[in-house]
């Protein structure tokens, strides 16, 4: 069984800290979206790099791809098609932005529940050392927690690190 690759949208795929820049970062295109969970009347501006879809699909030989984003199923409607990704399973969060154990990110406990003992790599912009310590203590198999800068998004070294990690399992 392949490890999971748990993919956050905002930060890794949508470098939201770069949205204020007049020109999107190289390779990115600005999109206007209105996902179902978006609570505001104005649409959401999102930056996406279509090359990320091919990079993720290349990793699908080694991983089972899963959305790990507050977009949940909306990622299949709004993000995946723009990146050329097929419909992916997603983590349905029982609660978002709630309390988390010992300083961890609120997603961390749900990520471990979803992984259910399977090896996984998780890409997110809010991973901290607390999350790494928690996962190392609570998840008894291999896990890679890859923090991505929300002003830059996923880069070539990130994709290379994911490929190397899966190959080493």
Domain ranges of the chain: 4-168
Which residues does 106 contact at the CB level (< 8 Å), separation at least 6?
A: 95, 96, 97, 98, 99, 100
String of DSSP letters for 4-65: EEEE-SBTTTB-GGGTTSSSPPTT-EEEEE--TT--SSSPEEEEE-THHHHHHHHHTTT-EE
Side-chain half-sphere CA neighbours of 99 within 13 A? 2
Architecture of domain 4-168: 3-Layer(aba) Sandwich (3.40)
pLDDT digit string (tens) for the chain, length 169 residues? 899 999 999 999 999 999 887 788 889 999 999 988 788 889 999 999 999 999 999 999 999 999 999 999 999 999 999 999 999 999 998 776 666 667 778 798 999 999 999 999 999 999 999 999 999 999 999 999 999 999 999 999 999 999 999 999 9
pTM score: 0.94
């Amino acid at each position: 069984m392949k490890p999971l690759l748990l993919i956050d949208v905002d930060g890794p795929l949508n470098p939201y800290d770069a949205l204020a820049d007049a020109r999107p970062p190289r390779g990115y295109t600005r999109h206007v979206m209105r996902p179902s969970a978006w609570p505001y009347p104005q649409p959401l501006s999102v930056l996406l790099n279509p090359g990320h879809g091919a990079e993720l699909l290349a990793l699908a030989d080694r991983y089972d791809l899963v959305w790990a984003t507050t977009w949940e199923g909306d990622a299949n409607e709004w993000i995946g098609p723009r990146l050329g990704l097929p419909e992916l399973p997603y983590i349905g969060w029982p609660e978002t932005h709630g309390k988390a154990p010992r300083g961890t990110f609120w997603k961390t406990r749900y990520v471990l529940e979803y992984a259910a003992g399977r090896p996984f790599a998780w890409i997110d912009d809010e991973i901290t050392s607390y999350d790494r310590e928690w996962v190392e203590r609570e998840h008894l198999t291999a896990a890679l927690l890859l923090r991505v800068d929300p002003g830059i998004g996923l880069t070539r070294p990130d994709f290379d690190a994911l490929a190397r990690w899966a190959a080493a399992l």
